Structure formats: C-alpha cells, structure tokens
Structure 1
Amino acid sequence: MENDVFPRIGSRLVGELTAPDFLRVARRIEERGAIESAHRIMQNCGQIMRYAIATGRAERNPVADLREALPPTQKRNHAAIVDPVELGGLLRAIHSYRGTIVVQTALKLAPLVFVRPGELRQAESEEIDLDAALWSIPASRMKMKQAHLVPLARQAVDLLRELQPLTGRGRCVFPGGRSVKRPMSEAAVLAALRSMGFDKSTATGHGFRATARNLLDEALNFRPDIIEHQLGHAVRDPNGRAYNRTTHIAERTKMMQQWANYLDKLRIAPMAD
C-alpha cells in the first residue's frame, strides 16, 4: 500500500475515488509483471472502500467494477520435494543453515509439523504445551476457520525448548528481527531456502505440506483420512458431519512421531556415491 497506492491516491478523499483511479494503480503494478500483487492490493482497496461505506465516508465501492478489468492470475501448485533422497538433501541443508536462531528453528520445525507458513510464523507461546507435546492453533489463524491440533514429536519439542531461552517467553514463538512483539517476516523461511540454493521451482515453505501428504501415504502407509486431518483439511464422516480437531488424535500423534523419525533417517543417511 505504501509503495503502490498511497503515493497515487492516498491524499484523495475516499468518497471521490472512481474505478479508473483504482485501475490506474493496478495497471502500474501489472506493468512490472506483478499480476498476483495487483489482485491482492485491489482486494485490500476493496476492503477499505467497504469500510468507508459502512462509516459513511463513501456511497459505493468502485473497486468492484474492476472484476473483469484485471488479467487473471495463474493458479500454481507450491513446489515440493517428494523424492526421499532429494528430501534428505534438503534436510541436511536446513540443518547446516547458519542464519538467525529463530529462522534456523522455523526451518527445522516446518517439515516436522507441515502447517501453512503463516500458521507457523505466527505461532504464539500460549498455544503450545511442551509438556503435553501439543500445539493448539486457534480457528482465527486457520484457513478453514476451525481450531487445529498439532501433536508435537519429540524432535519438535526439543527444538522449541532450545529456542525458549534465546527468545524469551514473549507472545511470539518466532519473533521478528525488528521487534519481539511481532512475528518474523513471511519471507524469512523462503529467503533462507533461496540462500541455500533451492529456487522457487524446487522448494517452498508451503511445499512441506505436499511432501508430507505424499510420503506419509507412500512411504509410511498412513491412512489418507488421518493425513488429511493433520493437514487441517475438512474431513467428514459417512453422514457428512465434519470431524472435530481431536478426532483420531492417538493415530495422529503416532503418525507425527514416526514422520519425525523418518525425516531423521533421511537426513543422516549417507549420500549416494
């Protein structure tokens, strides 16, 4: 908003803004090839206009008129490594990374818990019970808007215990470099992967979810419904009712520990000649 919107329309009265005003902003973003950013920024502008209407500052939302004016975004799958040998190499690189301790820990934890990147970086201390080895993510931070329970393997608990003395006991488990009151940047893990030589077509923070989904099924033979539960996806019983967050928790706890052990095995396996 500070780079693309405020310099062009930030000084204008919100009730005077028109669809062409917003379209000119979007076109400048498109010109540098950032189509997805143009869509996201227009979504933010639309939210502002809806608030302006609700508070009597504007009578209509002109951003809604741009629906057909912006080029569509291309849906892309997040890059993920699903070959065990290649995954072992990625894990070794992660454990050799020499960035900040916060980013190091987030990188090591990401494949163990395979939550969405935003759910990981925004983790709060009060959500995690290390003695019970459970992480309870509130519904407000979940994509499906349902509270989610993540059993923590021994390896995950050890990582979080090692982090505590270094970051204190503040609200954020992974505080940012500029303020301990705010979580680390959403780009931190991605930037670390890039610095290790893994480009966007090879590995992403979100890709650990696809890695887990594939290998938990193909290599460790866990039931697909158990895996989907742990991914935080909507899974329903034969009557169409959604399961709650504690469903199959014993099996999921077992699965998470076996998954962590499997990752350790891949990481310490001797590299092929």
Structure 2
Amino acid sequence: MFHDLDSTLTRLLHDAPAAELPELRAADVSFETPDRAFGPANATVDLFLYEVWENREIRDPVPVVERVGNTFVRSRPPLRADCSYIVTTWASGAIGAARVAAEHQLLGQALGWVSRFPRIPEAYLQGVLASPRRVYPLPTMIAQLDPNQHAGDFWAAMGIAPRPAFYLTVTTELPVGFPVEGPLVTTAVVNYQQDTDAGTRETLVDFGGTVRTAAGDPVAGAWVRLDPIGRTETSDADGRFTFTRVVPAPGFTLRARALGLGDVRRDVDVPQQSGEFDLQFA
C-alpha cells in the first residue's frame, strides 16, 4: 500500500502545470532517505516517509458490507493511517547562493501545488488506492506544525546540516481481517465498543428480506417502513430490502406498500427471530 501511495504522490507532482511551475514539473521525485549519502544528479523533490500512525479520531467501528450478486461480503472497517512525509528539495549544477535560491524556488512550488489538494483526487490514485473497494477518500494535511517533531534532531540523525522542508501527511486506509461472505439479508448482530467516557458497548442489528406478490414473485420498488422508528427503505430489482444498524428490541412492525398491490404488514422481534423477514402481498 505504501508504494502505491508513493506512486500516487509522484503522479500528482508530475502533473504540475509546466507553464506555471516549470521547475517542479521537470524535477525528479524521490523517496530515499535524505542522509549524507543522498546526492541526486538532477533537481529533485524528496519525500521521506518518516512516520505512520493510526488515526483513532476518525476510526469507524461499523463493518463494511458490499453486495455481490445475491450475497453480501462483510469486512472489518479498514484501519485509517496517517502517513507523514518530510519534503525537501535538492538543486543540481549550482553552488552557494544560487543553489539555495533554486532549492527554495522548487520547495515553494511543491508546497503551493500540493496545498491545492485537501484530498488526493481520484485521477491520481495508483494501485490498490484506485480500487473500487476503497472505502474512504485520502485527505491531506500540509505544512502543519507537529509539536512532537524537532527538525534539528531529525537532521542531526541524518548526519547533515538542517535543510528547509515541510511536512505532508496523507490519511489512507489499510484493510484488516478477511472478508466474510454470506446471505444478503440474513440477520447479523454487530457488537462494538464506543470510545466514550462511560465505555459503553452497543449492539446493532442488520436485517432484511424480500417483498413478494401473492404468487411469490419479487416486487421491485416497494416502499418498506420499519415502525416504531419510522425508517424507510425501497426494495431493489430482486425485491430485497435491508435495514442496517438497528437497535434490537421486540415489537417492531414491517409495512410494505406497492402500486397496484396494496399494503402488507408483519410484526417482528429483532434479533430474537433469525433468518429473513419476507413480506408477501395477499
């Protein structure tokens, strides 16, 4: 995944407009460690991935459910990771003040260009990041001060004099666990721990069924309401409907209505009853 993020950033930097940012457009992009052995032959923007942290503030406990034919695939939500780069620039063919000016110009162009993107556009995503199975966008944080980072210590560890740089953080996702395939609307119970002062644990239920005619044929486009909470869904082309993240309790009522078929209702207890909750018109 990290190499796909590197490829994504490379493509983004190489797409800088040549007329507006010619030095950036022509520069090489590197992800090597900027230590004393690093000496690129050409003008280079170097992005050193120095830290990866899980972003717990945006952690999502809700499983990801995808429909595949007449089944669903349930996966643990991906881990959200902050990938932090330190971005430096290196000039070639210049020394002294001319080298400093060239590196500052290139650094300014790089900072100005990536700052235009509060999230990485879809067109730049590479590898697994471009997959349709990706759940979240890739937000960025640019040139923000990290109180836990000390630039002097970093450059001392690299064994070279301090250089001008800025931090670039991209929040990406890491798949965790293996997907589980099962029936599309069979009742599923989900437990998760909420990060609250009380540390409460809440149980939620996903359930559904199929709306059918008196002859047993599926009804597409039927209006299905779950009372007393008043949530409404519409049956799909196969007559199926699904309600997700329902707090379990007895005494629910499912109501369905379809043009030319009238109304039908069914009393259900969730999750005391299992299986599918079909509704059939008389």
Give the TM-score taking structure 1 as reference length: 0.22
Computing the radius of gyration from Cα coordinates, the structure with the larger value is 2
Q: Which has the higher contact order (CA 8 A, sep 6+)?
A: 1
- Of Structure 1 and Structure 2, the greater strand share is in 2
Give the TM-score taking structure 2 as reference length: 0.22
- Of Structure 1 and Structure 2, the greater helix share is in 1
